[in-house]
Amino acid sequence: MRAPTARAVRRPRGPLPANVQKRARSRLFPQQARIGRTRRARGVLIRIDSVTKRYPDGTVAVDRLSLEIPDRSITVLVGPSGCGKTTTLRMINRMVEPTEGSILLDGRDIRQQPVNTLRRSMGYVIQNAGLFQHRTILDNIATVPRLLGWTKQKARARAAELMERVGLDSALAKRYPYQLSGGQQQRVGVARALAADPPVLLMDEPFSAVDPVVRKGLQDELLRIQDELGKTIVFVTHDIDEAIKLGTKVAVLRTGGRLAQFAPPAELLSAPADLFVEDFLGADRGIRRLSFFPAAGLELETAPVVPIDADAGEIASRAAAPYLLVTDPDGRPLGWSEPDKLTAGAVDREQLLDHGRPFVPATDSLRTALDGAVLSPTGWAVAVDGEGRTVGVISQQVIGEAIRDAHSRVAERADAKAGR
Amino acid sequence: MSGFFDLPSDLQHSYLGLVGLHLREALLPVLAGLIVSLPVAQLCVRFRWIYPPVLGVTTVLYAIPSLAFFVVLIDYFGQSETTVMVPLALYSLVVLVPAIVDGVRSVPPETLAAAQAMGFGPVRRYLQVQLPIAVPAIIAGLRVATVSSISLVSVGMLIGNQGALGNMLYDAQTYERSALAVNSVLTIGVLGVLADGVLVLVRLLLTPWMPRKGAGR
C-alpha cells in the first residue's frame, strides 16, 4: 500500500475543477471551450429532433428524423442512395437548413451561433477529400486554425503535428495535392478536419472513392485516431460493412429519409427491425455477426498436433484422429495429413494438405475461426499464438456448438434485460 | 536612305518611344477589361441566368467596328489615346468574361463544399479559393486579349497619329518607305510574342500547384 503522504503530493486524480478546466481549454482551443462548456463525459452531444427537409419541388429528403448522437463515439448513418444520409449530415453544420424540427449541439440550438463559428467547430471530411489544389499539404491542414486567427507559424506547427498523427510522411508537407495518391489525399482531409481540435467530426463517405485495400487502411487508422482523441464522429456511408466495422451505433435510413433502425452493430445483425434492414444487411448477416463473438473461449484440441520430427510411437498414439496437423519443430503449422500416410522421420512436406488461414484465439472472432475451418480441406481450423506457433486445432462442429452457445447467452442476457 | 529605326519626325516619337506608347495603349485596355470582367463574371457565376445575355452583349460589342466607336467617342474624348483604348477595353470583355466564368466554375464542387464546411464566408471563399484556382483560365483569356489588343492598337492611326507603331504604316505610304511598314509589322509581332511569353511566365509563377508536363506523381 502506498503511503498517504505520497498520494497527497501527487496531483488529484479525476477531472480538474470545472473553472480550471474551462480556462485551460479556452486558452488552447477557444472554439472547443465555447462548444464544450456544458459537455458531460459521456452523453448525448448532438440531438436531432424530428427534423424534416422538404425541397421546394416537394421532394422529402429527410422525414421527421430523430436521433441522439452520443458523445465521443462513432455514429454511422447508412442507407441506400436517396435515403437522406448526406442531407442529415449537412444539416448538422447548417450547409442544409431543415424545413422543420431542430438540432441541438450540447443542448443548444445550432442556430444560436453564427454559422461560420459553428462550422469551424466541426471538422468535415468529404469524398475525394476536396483539398485546396492551390495550397500545399501543410497549408491545407492549417486552414481552419488560420480562419480562427492563429498565427501562420502556430497553425503550421499544428499542421505538422497532425500529419504525423494521421500517418503522413513529413516530406509531403511542401507538396501539392496533385502529387499525392488518393489514400494520402484522404489522410490530409482527415488531418485538415482535426486541425483545430473540434469536438465534432462530420465525415461524408470519406473512403468510398479509394480502392478496398487503401480503404481498409484508412478505416483502421480512423479507429486508431478515435481511440486516441475520442471525438464525436458522425459518419455517412452506403457501405454496410464499413458501418458495422466503424460504428459504435448505426442508424439505418430508408429511401425517403426515414429512420429504419438505430442500434449498435451487433444488435443490428442479431435483431434487424424489419425486412428492409434485413435486406440491407445482406444475406450473410449471420456470419458477419460472428465478428462480435470472441474466439477466446473455444475448446481447442492438442491431440491431433504432431511435430515434423515426431517418432513412430508418437504418431501411432495419435492415430485416433482422422487427420493430424504437422508442425515444424518450433510449432508453426505446416499442413494436414492422414495418420497412416505419415512415416516417422520422413515426412514429405509437399504431400501435406493446406492448413488454411490460422486464427489467433486471443484477438480474433468466431468469424475468423469458422472461416479458417471452412477454408481448410479437413474442416479443422488451426489456432496459433501471436508468434504463429500452434496452440491447438478445432473442428467445424465444435465451432458450431460454440456459436450456438454464444447465441443463447446473448438471448439470455436480452431476456434478463427485458425482465422476462 | 535613313536607318531602319530612324523615324520621320511627324511620328513625334523615337522608335522606343513608339514601342512604349504602343504597349501602353494596348495593355491599359486589357487591364481595364480585367477589372470590369471580374465582378461581371462573378455575377454570371452567382446568377446563372444573366450569363447568356452578358455573353450576347460582349459579342455584339466585339462585332462593332472600331471605326464606328471612334466616330462616337471622338465627340467625347477627341482624337486621343482614350478614344482608341475604350473600344479595345470593350473588345477584351468577349474573351475575359467567359474565361473567368469558366475558371471559377472549374473549381471542383467538393472543394467548394469543403470550403463552405470549414467556415469560409462568401468573400473569403471567392478570394482565397475560387479566384486562385481560376488563375490558369484567367491567364489563358488574358493571353488572347493581350495579343489581340497589341495588334488592334494600330487602327488608331485612322484618327490621326493615335495608332502608335501603326502610325508607321501610314508614313510608309506617305513617304514611300516600305521599310517602315516592315518595321511596324515585325515590331508588333515581336511585342505580341513577348507579351504572351511574359504571361506564360506569370502563370508558371502563380500556379506551382498545377501538374507539370514531364513531372510525374
pLDDT class for A1, splitting at 50, 70, 90? very low
- Check CB contact of A95 with chain B, cutoff 8 Å: yes
Domain coverage including residue B193: 12-206
Residues A102, A193, single domain; the answer is: yes
B160 or A260, higher pLDDT: A260
Higher pLDDT, A143 or A303: A143
Please say which residue of A254, A284, A314 terminates a domain.
Answer: A284
All three cell numbers of B163: 495608332
- Tell me the pLDDT tens digit for each residue of A24-60: 443 344 333 333 333 344 577 899 999 999 999 999 9
Are both A97 and A219 inside the same structural domain? yes
CATH number of residue A264's parent domain: 3.40.50.300
User: What mean pLDDT is reported for chain A?
Assistant: 87
Question: Residues B38-63: what's their mean pLDDT?
Answer: 95
Would residue B5 count as lying in a domain?
no
Estimate the crossing angle of helix B178-206 against helix B15-46, to 10 degrees. 40
Has residue A50 been placed in a domain?
A: yes
Q: Is residue B3 part of a domain?
A: no
Whether B215 is in a domain gets the answer no
DSSP-assigned letters across all residues of A54-96: E-TTS-EEEEEEEEEEETTSEEEEE-STTSSHHHHHHHHTTSS
Q: Is residue A3 part of a domain?
A: no
Q: Which three cell numbers stand for residue A418?
A: 427485458
Residue B89, Cα to own-chain centre: how many angstroms?
7
Contact A119 B119 (CB under 8 A): yes
Q: What is the DSSP string of A219-277?
A: HHHHHHHHHHH--EEEEEES-HHHHHHH-SEEEEEETTTEEEEEE-HHHHHHS-SSHHH
The verdict on residue B22 lying in a domain is: yes
Residue B194 lies in a domain: yes
For chains A and B, CB pairs below 8 A equal 73
Cross-chain Cβ contact B108/A132 below 8 Å: no
Residues A309 and A274 in one domain: no
A127/A80 same-domain check: yes
Taking the alpha carbons at both ends of chain A, their separation in whole angstroms is: 44
Residue B164 binned pLDDT confidence (cut-offs 50, 70, 90): confident
The cell numbers describing A155, all together, are 497553425
Select from B104, B111, B118 the residue whose CB has the most chain A CBs within 10 Å, as the one to mutate to test that interface.
B118
Confidence of residue A309 (pLDDT cuts 50, 70, 90): confident
Question: What letters, b where the CB count within 10 A reaches 16 and e where it falls short, cover A153-184?
Answer: eebbebbbebbebbebeeebbebbbebbebbb
A417 has a pLDDT exceeding 80: no
Identify the pLDDT of residue A237. 96
| Candidates A119, A128, A135; nearest CB to B117 | A119
Where would I find the beta strands (DSSP E) of A274-320? Answer: 305-307
In chain A, what percentage of residues exceed pLDDT 90? 67
- Whether A379 and A396 have beta carbons less than 8 Å apart is answered as yes
Give the tens place of pLDDT for each residue, A213-259.
999 999 999 999 999 999 999 999 999 999 999 999 999 999 999 99
Cβ contacts of A133 on chain B, cutoff 8 Å: 108, 111, 133, 209
Tell me the residue type at A320.
A
User: What residue in B sits closest to A148 (Cα-Cα)?
Assistant: B119
Three-class secondary structure of residue A365 per DSSP: strand
The CATH number assigned to the domain holding A387 equals 3.10.580.10
Q: How many domains does chain B have?
A: 1
AA letter at A228 = E
Q: Is residue A22 part of a domain?
A: no
Residue where one domain finishes, among candidates A250, A284, A318: A284
**Residue A2: predicted pLDDT:** 41
pLDDT band at A343 (very low <50, low <70, confident <90, very high): confident
Any idea what the CATH number is for the domain that residue B155 is in? 1.10.3720.10
Residue B154: burial class (beta carbons within 10 Å; 0-12, 13-18, 19+): buried
Does some domain include residue B2?
no
Range of the domain at A349: 305-403
Interface test with B, best of A122, A132, A134, A174 (most B CBs within 10 A): A134
Q: Look at B113 and A178 and tell me if their CB atoms are within 8 Å.
A: no
**Which pLDDT tens digit goes with each residue over A312-326?**
888 888 878 889 999
pLDDT range class, residue A16, cuts 50, 70, 90: very low
For residue A415, name the pLDDT band (cuts at 50, 70, 90): confident
Give chain B positions within 8 Å (CB) of A149. Answer: none
Residue tagged 480550471 (cell numbers) = A20
Confirm whether B212 is domain-assigned.
no
